[in-house]
Chain A
């Protein structure tokens, strides 16, 4: 067993263990911290696959943005330290059964399917290549989704302000 394999299994156990604890922990703040571990594990998986740009984006957006947002909203809506209600037993059992059977079925198909890789020359996922293709207007450029997503972010920004604003009622 080479060192690379060992590192992969450590990363995989961090991702899956963090994920399972994040959906089963009864203290909501702990669940958020376990989610943080899982997301950091995914970023390190991107590092492991040599996608450094994507790993950086994952850390900046998820770990630095979304998890902090979730923790803020936990502090705004919960008294710290109280436990959540246990899920109803039959619902937990049937959800676990559904998830287990679906996992088994998907893993069966992954084992049976024969993946064939392309034989073309590889393109390195460097920041230069990513930037050139993302902002190119030629046939395989991604300028249109880039602009659309920027409009989406603007709309989400304004929408959040409109939804969460506190309207003062005249007494």
Chain B
């Protein structure tokens, strides 16, 4: 068994990404869909860090992309939860099938 290289970490991030995609497709609850999106964003972060570490160790660009993605994910989660709480007040439910008040 040799040392851990790039491809092992890419395998982890790929499996995590498609786990998140599966959760996003099957869940009907808004908070659990948000959790699936967090998993997807985190797998992308792992990819950025792994490429920076193993292929472009002379730069720090992958690290900066990861920092900015984490920031934007935090803002996105905060706005999404504000919307979910507002919808819960209106509809008494956070199921995506019930949120059809903007349908024409």
Contact = CB atoms under 8 A, between A and B. Distances in A.
Contacts of A152: 71-72, 75
Q: What is the interface of chain B mostly: helix, strand, loop, or mixed?
A: helix
Greatest chain B CB density within 10 A among A46, A66, A92 is at: A66
Q: What is the interface of chain A mostly: helix, strand, loop, or mixed?
A: helix
B85 A74 contact: no
Contact of A70 (B60, B71, B81): B81
Range, interface on chain A: 35 or more
Greatest chain A CB density within 10 A among B1, B26, B86 is at: B26
Contact of A115 (B55, B63, B73, B85): B55
A120 interface: yes
A49 B5 CA distance: 11
Interface in B65-83: 66-68, 70-79, 81-83
Greatest chain B CB density within 10 A among A4, A98, A129, A156 is at: A156
Contacts of A107: 11, 14
Nearest to B95: A85
Given A57-B67, A95-B22, A118-B58, A66 B14 contact: no
Interface in B3-32: 3-4, 6-12, 14-16, 18-23, 25-29, 31-32
B63 A54 contact: yes
A122 B58 contact: yes
Given A70-B77, A125-B63, A156-B78, A76 B88 contact: yes
A45 B66 CA distance: 14
B23 A22 contact: yes
A47 B8 CA distance: 16
B27 to A, nearest CB: 7
A2 B39 CA distance: 29
B59 A31 contact: no
B49 A54 contact: yes
B70 A110 contact: no
A159 B82 contact: yes
A156 B79 contact: yes
A23 B70 contact: no
Contacts of A122: 57-58
Contacts of B85: 73, 76-77, 164
Nearest to B4: A8
A12 B14 CA distance: 12
19 contacts: A1-B1, A5-B1, A5-B4, A12-B12, A16-B12, A16-B19, A23-B22, A42-B45, A49-B53, A62-B42, A91-B25, A95-B21, A95-B22, A99-B19, A106-B14, A117-B57, A118-B56, A153-B75, A160-B82
